Amino acid sequence: MKKELEKINSLLKNYFGIPKLNKRTPNPLDILIGTILSQNTNDKNSFKAYQNLKSKISSWDDILKMRTSTLESIIKVAGLGKQKANSIKNLIKNLKSVNGKISLDFLKNADDDKAIEELTKFKGVGVKTASCVLLFSMKRNVCPVDTHVHRILNRIGVVKTNSPDKTYFAIKEFIPGNNGHSLHTNLLRLGREFCLPKNPKCSLCPLESICHYSEKNLGKTTLKQKNDFFLLDKI
């Protein structure tokens, strides 16, 4: 599996390039709450909800004094306002009661598996959300698996799993060295632009040559069309 993931990572970096990784290390709690807000919505709406929330508080401690209905109203642009408000409120309360402070610093010395275990104890925090905290804030070499990454790796034939969580655990030991970020980011982009849930653009896909998907949508694509698409994508 490691060789397969190395090949996928290489092909995607050759096509999309190497994604930029934020040199600043964000606070793990910021990333966790931002990722909760991103569930089942687009980046624009989740970022707007996060900005709205940060503009209303001086620290995460303020959430303790805030009514859940108020919190729901502030983050409503991200959708699922009641569910996300409850998740954030419960997270803050639990951190305060268990650790005495609202922080994820206790995870700094935990290995990846232990950190995932601890984070997923919080209601509303799944494996994908927890692994995003590890990748983007703790700089761990993990590859968060959402529906896009799950779909692609199953279509290619790297795994045969029936959920994103199972895909994450199947590949976690085989992520190419220090390439968790590029693999995750480029697979996500591939899933949005080529490997679509319906009518995937298989004939244009940079992974078509190694993909074992039995229902490929190859159509009739000329070399010129492929080159034109490649050039437009780079503009």
Tokens of 98: 């268990």
CA distances from 73 to 62, 77, 101, 167, 209 (A): 15, 8, 26, 35, 48
> CA 130, CA 132: separation in Å to the nearest integer?
5
Is 114 known to be catalytic?
A: no
Catalytic residue among 96, 128, 201, 216: 128
CA 125 to chain centre: 13
Task: Look up residue 138 and give its DSSP letter.
Answer: T
Q: Are 174 and 143 in contact (CB under 8 A)?
A: no
> CA 118, CA 106: separation in Å to the nearest integer?
10
Residues classed as catalytic:
128
